[in-house]
Structures are given as structure tokens and as C-alpha cells.
Amino acid sequence: MEQRMETLAGDAQDLGPRIRKAGPANPAVPLMKGSVMIRATVALLALSTPLLAEDLTLPLDPGVKAETITARYSCNGGAPFEVRYINAGENSLALVPVAGASRIFVSTVSASGARYVSGALEWWSKGDDATLIDTMDEAATQQCVAAPA
């Protein structure tokens, strides 16, 4: 059984440079010759095509039900925004708007509360409080609280 999750077009575009970095131009990947190079290029294009689509499908184990919870927050007194939490068995995601685009955060180990990461960003929530941390620039940390619906 497959559960479907929509992503914003911006999310798919953000993945493009990462795919190109993993291609044959990467010095860690040995250069290929002739038809092997063509086949590798075609395979890479075929694998990256689903990432450019509007919808993303994540296959789950049969019988696993996905639960979506939407919560509203306001950070540092700013405008309220929504965070969507998606829980499906052992998989937990948070869709957090960052810089005008929805970012996918994946749950990770936490001593207390729920902790999600996306690249250098960390979304940590506990009760009515949440924190958005840029681990590359901790001065940009945002303190957030639950906002009324």
C-alpha cells in the first residue's frame, strides 16, 4: 500500500543540484567509456525524473496507516504558520515552511520532545514550544510557540 504526500514545486527544484553533484562529474565516481557512459546517464535521468514531479510517493509497509497532524506556530512574535506532522509506523516527518518554501524534516533521536532535521536545520518541539535552529548559524535560532487556530 502506498501513501501519497504532496510537495511544493520548490522542494523538487531544491533536490536538482544534489542530484547533479552525485553524477559522473564527481571525482569520486570513476569515468566510464562508450555505451556504459550513455547507459549510466540514462539511468541517472530515469532515477531523477520522479524527483521533478509535483507529487511524491513514499511506499510504506502494508497495513501502516499514515496520520497527519497540523499545528500552528509563531516564532519570535512573527506571523503564524502551519507545520504538518506525518506519522506512519516508524516514519515521522515534519513539513516546516522555511524561507518561503516547505522543507521536509525527518525525525531523529531526542532526549525530550520531538526532534526533526533537514540538512543543517533542526526543528525541535515539546508541548506548545518549538525551536528552529540553523546549526551553521545558531544566532539565527527562532523560538516558537503554539498559535491559536
- Rounded mean pLDDT of the chain? 74
The more confident residue out of 36 and 76 is 76
Q: Is the dihedral of CA 128, 113, 123, 55 positive or negative?
A: negative
pLDDT confidence of residue 27:
47
Q: pLDDT grade, residue 16 (50/70/90)?
A: very low
Give percent of the chain above pLDDT 90: 44
Three-point CA angle 95, 115, 97, nearest 5°: 25
Under 8 Å CB-to-CB from 29, ≥6 apart: which residues?
A: 22, 23
**Given this structure, which CATH class describes domain 60-146?**
mainly beta
Question: Rounded to an integer, what distance in angstroms lies between the CA atom of residue 23 and that of residue 12?
Answer: 17
> pTM higher than 0.75, yes or no?
no
Which of 75, 77, 95 lies closest to 85, judged by CA?
95
pLDDT confidence of residue 18:
36
Domain boundaries, the chain: 2-58, 60-146
